[in-house]
Structure 1
């Protein structure tokens, strides 16, 4: 997947060779966006769902990662583990990645609802994509990191 902006933005399928760079980016997002103990959860996610995870590149450089899951019994698709290097935040890269994932999810007929589980630091981003707030759970991700569950119908937002 590629973008037509000033930068060369690409989502490529996750490769084990990307793990070191993604873990570095993950760790510099601790503690603002992730709790340190979530690294184990992220690694486990990649062990079981690497086929739906992407490495985000800007001008050929790894700047983050993002994935999706389809929960067939719930007719729900989720954006998962989306994060960027802080130097690349606020430049439209996250929106590009999220929109690319939503395109994939919207292409699955069984998916009727889209979901994003985020924190107080990411809920406005998902709100800008059309997600609405469903519930909040204080300290869910770790100390000072609350769960903000966001949902929307399976419709591709305009960016």
Structure 2
């Protein structure tokens, strides 16, 4: 499987919304589509898509705080039929490396998610920092996690990215 990650374009909107809907209600409540639409209309940071065999299969971005040494992951969704294929991990690592190249690289990267996806982030090196029963307006529980974007973490991410590039080149 060869994937390509690139910046989001307005022409991707329909496919992003379709990918989101494949994750409703298991991973997102329907009410979060309004937030996704607003994120697409007025992004607060860079947004990216994952394309595999000409089809959009993932979407996510991040926001940088103007006041804190902090970035926040925004969305990070993979079309439901592509779960477990490595697309989500590739998108996450791409976003972390993109942040690492910023002039003002954040020290901490945070994400809030549901308990059933928190394990994915823990397996990628994030640590759980809070749990909020009923923490979303939808009534779902919320888990907050963070990742330290240290020099050692960035080096490990780059090494993984280089290994992935070699595998795709074969």
Structure 1 gap segments, 5+ residues each: 1-6
Q: Work out the CA distance in 1 between the residues paired with 2:99 and 2:124.
A: 14
Q: Work out the CA distance in 2 between the residues paired with 1:153 and 1:50.
A: 21
Q: Is the 8 A contact 1:33 1:145 kept in 2?
A: no
Q: Normalized against structure 1, the TM-score is what? A: 0.88
The aligned counterpart of 1:3 is none
1:44, CA displacement in angstroms? 0.9
Q: Work out the CA distance in 2 between the residues paired with 1:30 and 1:58.
A: 22
The correspondence of residues 4-23 of structure 1 with structure 2, limited to 5 A, is 7-23=1-17
Q: Work out the CA distance in 2 between the residues paired with 1:19 and 1:50.
A: 16
Q: Is the 8 A contact 1:14 1:51 kept in 2?
A: no
Q: Work out the CA distance in 1 between the residues paired with 2:109 and 2:24.
A: 26
Larger radius of gyration: 2
Stretch moving more, 28-37 or 96-105: 28-37
The aligned counterpart of 2:136 is 141
Q: Work out the CA distance in 2 between the residues paired with 1:111 and 1:39.
A: 28
1:50, CA displacement in angstroms? 7.1
CA change 1:50–1:73 in 2 (3 A) is: closer
The aligned counterpart of 1:41 is 35
- For residue 120 of structure 1, the aligned residue among 107, 115, 119 is 115
Quote the RMSD (CA, aligned, Å): 1.7
Compare the two structures and name the one with the higher strand fraction.
1
Q: Is the 8 A contact 2:45 2:64 kept in 1?
A: no
Structure 2 gap segments, 5+ residues each: 161-170
Q: Is the 8 A contact 1:13 1:51 kept in 2?
A: no
The aligned counterpart of 1:132 is 127
1:51, CA displacement in angstroms? 5.6
Q: Kindly report structure 1 stretches of 4+ aligned residues shifted beyond 6 Å.
A: none
Q: Work out the CA distance in 1 between the residues paired with 2:44 and 2:51.
A: 17
| 3-state SS in 1 of match to 2:90 | helix
1:107, CA displacement in angstroms? 2.2
